[in-house]
Each structure stands twice: as C-alpha cells, then as structure tokens.
Amino acid sequence: MSTRLSGLVKIIQVPLKYNNFSIIGIIPIFGSSQWGLVPKVILLVTFNLYEPMMEHFERFGLLINNQVVRTPVAIASMAGYVDAEYVRAREQHIGLAFIGGYSIDEPAMKASKQMVLAGRKEFIHEDMIAELHRQVACMTGSDVVLGINMRGCSPAAFARVAEELGDSIIYEIDAHCRQLPMIEAGSGEYYLNNPTQLFEIVKTLKRAGVTVSVKIRAGVSSDDRALSRALWKAGADILHVDLMDFGYHKIKQIRNSCPVLLIANNSLNTFDRVKDMFAHGADLVSLGRKSDERTLSGIDAAITRYTDEQGWYNSPKQLCRGGDIRALTFCCMPVKNCPLIPTLETLGIKRDEYIRLKEESVRGTPLEGGKNTCFGSLGWCCKNSSPCMFRDITIQQEGISSKEYMRLKRQLSEKIIHHIYYERTEDDAC
C-alpha cells in the first residue's frame, strides 16, 4: 500500500507499524482533511507512536506500506553498495530506501557473477533468501521505510520471495538494469521491451498482498506514458523512474498518465532540481551515487523548511505555467482561451463537469467562501505564489493562513485526481 494521505467518509481500520509497535489507525478513503485525498490516515490511538513521526506525517502526509514516511527523500538501490548497513548510516535524512539490487533466481545470479567478472560490484550470495532475511532484520528499529530492489526472470521467483519475507517490505521489480548479461538472462531492461512479462510479475506480487514498486529507465520503452498507465492498471503502487537526461518533462508526462506514487531519480542532488521534480508531479525523489550524508541532510532540511513555510511540499506549477494536471486545483472557471481548455479536452472532461466537480469538492470547506473573489469562491483561486489582492483579503477574512490555504488546495487537487482516475468510466478516463 502506498498513498498520499487524506479525507473522511469511507473508513477502514489498519495497523500502522513503527519500531515494532502496532498502532490502530483509520484510513479515510474519500473525503476531506487538512492533507488531501485518497487515502490518508488519521490516527485513532497514538500513545505508542513516536511523537516526531506524527510531526513528519503532519508535514508531508506520506504513508507507504502502512508506515509514515519522515521525508520525501529516498535512497535508490546500487548493486554491491546499498544494503541495510549503508542505509542505517544515513537514516536520519531519508524516509525510504531501496536496498539491492539482489538477484533472486539462478539466471539472474548467473548474470550477476558474469558482471562481477567484468569488474562490477554485485551482491553475490548462495542463499539469497537467507541474506534478504538478514538485511530485513538489520533494519529493525529504523523508521526508514524499506524496499528491496530485486532482479528475477520469472513471476515464480518473485512469488517465492514474497512468500518468505511477507508484507513488511516494498517489492521493487528491477526493470532498470541495462547490463547485457542481465538483459540476456531476461531481467532488468529486458522487461521494458517485453512489458507483458513485467505486468504478470506485478500481478503475481499483488496477489501475494504486498506493496509493489517498479524501477524503470525513461526512454527505453517506445511510450513511457502508456507503460506507466499499464503498470498502474496491473497493480503497481509505485513507479521509480530513472529520468536519464529527460528531466522534469518526463515526470510531468507520467504524472499526467496515472495516479501512482511517483519517485524521480537521477542527478537530483540539489534542492532546486528536487523542487522542479516536485513541481511537475514527483511525490519523492531518490539519490544513488550522491547519497552521501551531506547531500541528503541538505536536501532534507531544505524540503522541510519549504514545506513549513508553504504547506504543500510538492505543489505543482500552475497549469498556465507548465504544471501537471494536479494544477487544476489552481485554475479558474473555463471561460477564456487558456491551457485549461485543451487540458480538459484531453482528459475528456466537459466544462460543466469540471465546474460541478470543483464546486462540490469545496462545499463545506473554507475554500467554498470568497464571494469577493473573481469567481465567487476560493476554489477558483490561483496559487499563493501569484499576487492577488482579492484572494489574500478573502483568506484573511476566512481566518486561514497562506500555508493552510495551500493545504486545502492540496486536498482539492487530490479530489480532482481521484475523480479523473477512479470515479469515471473507462471510456471517459484519460
């Protein structure tokens, strides 16, 4: 399970795990809270939850595999380097880590051994299941959400690991490794050119009841948007995208194609680069070669400062300035020739449907007010970075801060995204 938290209405109880404590929580599936929608968590019993984790939850609203994510910064796998020991040495500045890659069946392990002979570092173990158990045990007591990047050549190989390790970890399918021995074995990038087999592995893992991430390399598939959407349909919870040289434009394409949790990767070692990824659809960023403590701590601190000031850590640019479809939350009524009109047409959303959706989504919230704004409601108002006297006066009259305004806009955005991907028929969906 991976989500960006929210709302009320339909609720189920789940156990949240932290440092071996179990905390009963409530996941509001569709509705409203200060965070946003689909789904998010409100804790019912908190006495066993380490207090700082609640602070992180309040700040970022991220829950992955039933665990609070302390910061939207992750470590990406690097075979032969990133194991539990590597992660524990950096755990104060990350929220998620993928150890590995680990070769989990005979063909993949044979490929790994060939790669070692060619001078590459790899994790070589005769009993990989025992080693994975050891790695998971080494993470006991850490608040870092753990994923394991795995290279395997059949659905059965992944099913075997899931049966052994259970649902305490994220299972990341490596469709990323471009070393020839691994591709010839039928793993890594092989899957990007043979996606039907990749989809079957995703489905196999989802039948085992675990959280699934897929690590892909942008530009290998003939259509990354179609691939991403198909992976979501197959059941993937997370897409972990090595952007290569494509930059934030690729993240925006994928964000506009599916609603999964999205991790951007590749050379994201400054806050400015990270912020660009967040502004175009990324939920987290991951670092590989530059995952040293100094770089991680700097990015973590900058994200925290920005969020504490602005309220929405990965708020999109406005649509008219190149933002992704989450930016519909900042758009006004469709009354003029602007990027909103072609965006609605691409999504297959009629103007009346869009107007009704936003009006219903803000009903009963502070965004419903604003009779002196351009269109009579804060629901139609722009991002707080755009100067607007009428918006700012209304916010003050409503008794909410600019930070809270952005939190409410995040909630509205997630309602809109939920409507686009889950409440419309297949024929209507983008």
Mean pLDDT of the residues in the chain? 88
Predicted pLDDT at 427: 52
Predicted pLDDT at 290: 85
pLDDT in tens, 42-94: 333 333 445 667 899 999 999 999 999 999 999 999 999 999 999 999 999 99
- CA-to-CA distance for 218 and 227, rounded, in angstroms? 10
Is pLDDT at 40 greater than 90 in this prediction? no
Predicted pLDDT at 425: 62
- CA-to-CA distance for 228 and 13, rounded, in angstroms? 30
Is pLDDT at 13 greater than 90 in this prediction? no
Residues listed for the chain = 430
Contact (CB, 8 A) for 188 and 179: yes
Torsions phi, psi for 91 (to 5 deg): -65, -20
Q: Which residues partner with 62 through β-bridges? A: 4
Is pLDDT at 24 greater than 80 in this prediction? no
pLDDT in tens, 288-314: 988 999 999 999 999 999 999 999 999
Percentage of the chain lying above the pLDDT 70 cut: 87
Q: What strands lie across the sheet with 11-18, from one edge to the other?
A: 11-18, 21-28, 42-43
Instruction: Say what the pTM is.
Output: 0.88
- CA-to-CA distance for 218 and 207, rounded, in angstroms? 27
Predicted pLDDT at 56: 92
Distances (CA, A) of 29 to 36, 75, 138, 353, 363: 10, 29, 33, 22, 18
pLDDT in tens, 308-356: 999 999 999 999 999 999 999 999 999 888 999 999 999 999 999 999 9
Is pLDDT at 27 greater than 80 in this prediction? no
pLDDT in tens, 223-281: 999 999 999 999 999 999 999 989 899 999 999 999 999 999 998 999 999 999 999 99
What domains lie within the chain, and their CATH numbers?
2-62 (no CATH), 70-310 (3.20.20.70), 319-422 (no CATH)
Is pLDDT at 396 greater than 80 in this prediction? yes
